[in-house]
Amino acid sequence: MAVHQPLPDLPPPPSERGLWGWFRQNLFSTWYNSIASLVVGYLLIIWLGPVINWALISAVWTGEGTDDCRPGAACWIFIQQRLGFFLYGFYPAELRWRPNIVFVLFLITVVPQFFPRAPGRKWLALFGITGLPVLGFVLINGGFFGLDPVATSRWGGLMLTLILAYVGIIAALPIGVVLALGRRSEMPVIRGICVTFIEFWRAVPLITILFMASVMLPLFLPQGVSFDKLLRALIGITLFQSAYMAEVVRGGLQAIPKGQYEAAQALGFGYWRSMRLIILPQALKIVIPGIANTVISLFKDTTLVLIIGLFDLLGAVRSTLSDPAWRSVAAEGYLFVALCFWIFCFGMSRYSHNLEKKLDTGHKT
Amino acid sequence: MNSDPSLPPKSSVKPWNDPRVRSAVFQILAILAVAWVGYSLFQNTLTNMASRGISTGFGFLDSSAGFGIVMSLIEYNESMSYGRTFFVGLANTLLVSGLGIIFATIVGFIVGVLRLSNNWLIARLALAYIEIFRNIPLLLQIFFWYFAVLGTLPSPRQSVSIGEVAFLNLRGIVLPKPIFEAGSGAVGIVLIIAIIISLAIARWAKRRQAATGQFFPVLPVSAALILGAPIIAYFALGSPIGWDVPALSGFNFRGGITVIPELGALLLALTLYTASFIAEIVRSGIISVSRGQTEAAAALGLPPRRVLRLVIVPQALRVIIPPLTSQYLNLTKNSSLATAIGYPDLVNVFMGTTLNQTGQAVEIVAITMAVYLTISLSISMLMNIYNRAVALKER
């Protein structure tokens, strides 16, 4: 019996294959695409070439001061010269091992969180939100166990940026969850209080909150109680971020089907137990990308503290640039800070993007 | 938590197990807690202010300010009151937010559409723009434009000339200023009439198309009308609008309008930063319209441009509007970063200089926050109205 045997497919025509085919499809598919590609490509080459040359090829990397710089070439000397200041601010050089230890502990707790199969991940997370802040404060601030105290006004640089972002997130997340639950509560008074709180902090700019924290907070407190500047900034940032966090969590709570709430009640769970064991684990899982976005915006917002006089990474670079010896490297200085922030924020957004894809199990409600 | 009628009668439930009683107790406790916190804050503030000798009340608004402001849209000089500084700052905030919203929307929509281009190079460039600008803190971008770019411009005498009418230098950009002479009002009136007639034509054309199916080219006709009529009126009235072109005299320019570099840097940074977010919103809005819609419209015989205008854009806008609103709000709030480079916005003038001079922190911070609260709530209210207008109408 004759078996029907189809011939193998012919290969695509040469004009659709290989590099040339790719070019044809992606750059020269129509006449206006061809013109656009050529014009944009030409502009890119004549613009990008000199920029790369300025920033990398002919740039000066090492030296003693701006005297070693060349005109028409980027001058990265200041990074090498002032790196300690950018990382720690005015923190005494001989005590910098203390923040270093905290940073290593921070990495040990945070890095395993990105690998779902890492052993002891939950315990490390618990340590990260309870033990690490306390231990970090004891080590960085000193004053206990014979450690020399270091006033918060001397903290600065990348260290301060990370402290502000980390403490801000850890404090804002639980407050945000409570606020989100309150906003979904059936008790009108509780709901009203939470809605007012959330909408108020979301409607005003962070900078006015920081101003308020630094100017008005001392007036609000009983006499004799005073917070230092860093703590005031932290309170302001936490209030602000917790309102945003609350809205993110609320999105997650609303996405949980009603059946889950009813099932929890049917099993005889009380409010807190059903929230803790059934609703919140699901809701928080859904909103992890949203939380990551909040973390990114919080990280970017920490730069605002320089307006109330704290030296975060941007503040440290800025004060270096106001030094007459380094005045001529303003563009390089800002590009350096931009690169530092960009690497972190871009990494976070890629991570949250991948997570979103992984968590998207397809049965959205 | 719930007050089901199916619950057992009250007598058999202990009061501390009755959800209604518990809910009432919780709420009363919450009210008491909030009231107590509010009261103690109020008392502490009063004691602290009394002990520091800070006066209270809004009387300071009438006293003379005595400081100058580099840029003011309304008339202002040093002898005017603190209340006036508030309005100067508010006007500057509204100016930079309004311009920022317009520019960011334009740039954002263009980049968002380019991001979907089938030209690989252009799509990648748009992606690179988005990823670079939205991952760098706004404050840093403002500093970059202000200190590293605009700060390196030449002094007024070596200005960069743009066609001999506008000049770019360290002190900003000097533009020619229009001078409205007699008869220029008539040109304005003609423009308004042309817009009204175009709107009427659009309405009529829509109604006629619905009734008879006949198409009328509304867009070219109204464009010709709105552009053409004022130009004809302008020349018919003998060119009543003159231009005050700036000219170098001594060390600075005379005449024209000077846009201060603070405004330029702030506007540039706000536009580019917010546009990168808007571009992503626009992109996700456009790809949210399913392919079937485009194909169905094409099958009905609509030409590609009208497919875009009549089918895709209206559906994409539904997805775009809500997040776009929150970007507008963010831009308005972010304009307060002006204070970092000294653009005289509300925060810089009122919460900065005025607060430092009067020391009345509570009143000034409260007023400033109230302004932002009002702006935020009113923008979101307007956008909600618009959103309702374009929302899916279920039939």
Q: Tell me: the pLDDT tens digits for A139-197? A: 777 777 777 777 777 888 888 898 899 899 889 999 999 999 998 888 888 888 998 88
What is the extent of the structural domain holding B280?
A: 82-135+267-390
Cβ <8 Å between B149 and A335: no
Cβ <8 Å between B27 and A26: no
**How far apart (Å, rounded) are the C-alpha atoms in residues A71 and A295?**
39
Query: Which of A334, A351, A364 has the most B C-beta neighbours within 10 Å, making it the best mutation to test the interface with B?
Result: A334
Buried b (16+ CB within 10 A) or exposed e, A179-196: bbbbbbbebebbebbbee
Question: Does residue B74 sit within a domain?
Answer: no
| Other CB atoms within 10 A of residue A25 CB | 14
pLDDT band at B278 (very low <50, low <70, confident <90, very high): very high
For A225-278, write each residue's pLDDT tens digit.
777 888 888 989 999 999 999 989 988 888 888 888 889 889 988 888 888 888
For A57-73, write each residue's pLDDT tens digit.
777 777 776 677 777 77
Question: Does residue B319 sit within a domain?
Answer: yes
A156-310+336-359, superfamily in CATH?
MetI-like (1.10.3720.10)
Query: In chain A, what percentage of residues exceed pLDDT 70?
Result: 97
Please give the pLDDT value at position A363.
Answer: 47
Question: Does residue B252 sit within a domain?
Answer: no
Of A40, A222, A271, the CB nearest to B122: A40
Of B40, B139, B149, the CB nearest to A303: B139
User: Is B48 within 8 Å of chain A by CB?
Assistant: yes
User: Is B45 within 8 Å of chain A by CB?
Assistant: yes
For A78-96, write each residue's pLDDT tens digit.
777 778 888 888 888 777 7
Is A365 a residue whose pLDDT tops 70?
no
Closest residue on chain A to B376 (Cα): A203
B343 within 8 A of B100, measured Cβ to Cβ: no
At residue A150, the 3 state secondary structure works out as coil
Cβ <8 Å between B144 and A334: yes
User: Is B149 within 8 Å of chain A by CB?
Assistant: yes
A304 within 8 A of A206, measured Cβ to Cβ: yes
CATH of residue B128's domain is 1.10.3720.10
Question: 């919203």: which residue's tokens?
Answer: B101
Please give the pLDDT value at position B391.
Answer: 66
How close B166 gets to chain A, by Cα (Å)?
25
- Angle of helix B120-134 versus helix B82-114 axis, rounded to 10: 150
Please give the pLDDT value at position A364.
Answer: 45
**How far apart (Å, rounded) are the C-alpha atoms in residues B271 and B86?**
25
Q: What are the residue boundaries of the structural domains of chain A, listed by start? A: 83-153, 156-310+336-359
Question: Does residue B271 sit within a domain?
Answer: yes
Of A154, A114, A59, the closest CA to residue A354 belongs to A114
**How far apart (Å, rounded) are the C-alpha atoms in residues B232 and B239?**
10
DSSP assignment of B100-132 equals: HHHHHHHHHHHHHHHTT-S-HHHHHHHHHHHHH
Enter the tokens of residue A212: 């308020």
Please give the pLDDT value at position A343.
Answer: 92
Same domain, B281 and B353: yes
Is A332 a residue whose pLDDT tops 70?
yes
Same domain, B383 and B279: yes
Cβ <8 Å between A342 and B125: no
Enter the tokens of residue A137: 């404060």
Task: Report CA-CA distances (Å) from B97 to A207, A239, B90, B138, B289.
Answer: 16, 25, 10, 15, 30
For B46-87, write each residue's pLDDT tens digit.
888 777 777 777 777 777 777 777 777 787 777 788 888 888
Same domain, B281 and B379: yes
Query: Which of B26, B140, B336, B343 has the most A C-beta neighbours within 10 Å, making it the best mutation to test the interface with A?
Result: B140
Please give the pLDDT value at position B176.
Answer: 78
Is A103 a residue whose pLDDT tops 50?
yes
How close B296 gets to chain A, by Cα (Å)?
24
**How far apart (Å, rounded) are the C-alpha atoms in residues A327 and A320?**
8
Which residues on A lie below 8 Å from B376 (Cβ)?
Answer: 202-204
Is A220 a residue whose pLDDT tops 50?
yes
Enter the tokens of residue A245: 């966090």
**How far apart (Å, rounded) are the C-alpha atoms in residues A305 and A311?**
8
Count residue pairs from A and B with Cβ separation < 8 A. 156
| Other CB atoms within 10 A of residue A36 CB | 18
**How far apart (Å, rounded) are the C-alpha atoms in residues A111 and A118?**
9
Of A37, A190, A306, the CB nearest to B121: A37
pLDDT band at B275 (very low <50, low <70, confident <90, very high): very high
Cβ <8 Å between A219 and B51: no
Of B351, B36, B304, the closest CA to residue A213 belongs to B351
Give the phi and the psi of residue B175 in degrees, each rounded to 5: -115, 155
Pairing of strands B241-244, B247-249: unpaired
Q: Which helix (H) or strand (E) holds B319?
A: helix B313-334
Q: Please give the tally of structural domains in chain B.
A: 2
**How far apart (Å, rounded) are the C-alpha atoms in residues B200 and A355?**
52
Cβ <8 Å between A334 and B27: no
| Other CB atoms within 10 A of residue B287 CB | 13
Question: Does residue B36 sit within a domain?
Answer: no
Polymer length in residues for chain A: 365
How close B18 gets to chain A, by Cα (Å)?
13
Same domain, B386 and B290: yes
Same domain, B193 and B338: no
> Rounded mean pLDDT of A126-147?
78
Same domain, B127 and B271: yes
Same domain, B272 and B380: yes
How close B27 gets to chain A, by Cα (Å)?
6
**How far apart (Å, rounded) are the C-alpha atoms in residues B108 and B272?**
8
280-339 in chain B: CB under 8 A from chain A: 329, 333-334, 336-337, 339
Strand positions, DSSP E, chain B: 160-162, 166-169, 172-175, 177-180, 241-244, 247-249, 252-254, 257-259
For A108-125, write each residue's pLDDT tens digit.
887 777 777 777 777 887
Task: Report CA-CA distances (Å) from B66 to A111, A331, B81.
Answer: 56, 36, 8
183-242 in chain B: CB under 8 A from chain A: none
Give B215 or B99, the one with higher predicted confidence.
B99
pLDDT band at B11 (very low <50, low <70, confident <90, very high): low
How close B193 gets to chain A, by Cα (Å)?
39
A247 within 8 A of A181, measured Cβ to Cβ: no
**How far apart (Å, rounded) are the C-alpha atoms in residues A38 and A20?**
15
Query: Which of B2, B20, B28, B136 has the most A C-beta neighbours within 10 Å, making it the best mutation to test the interface with A?
Result: B136
Cβ <8 Å between A187 and B23: yes
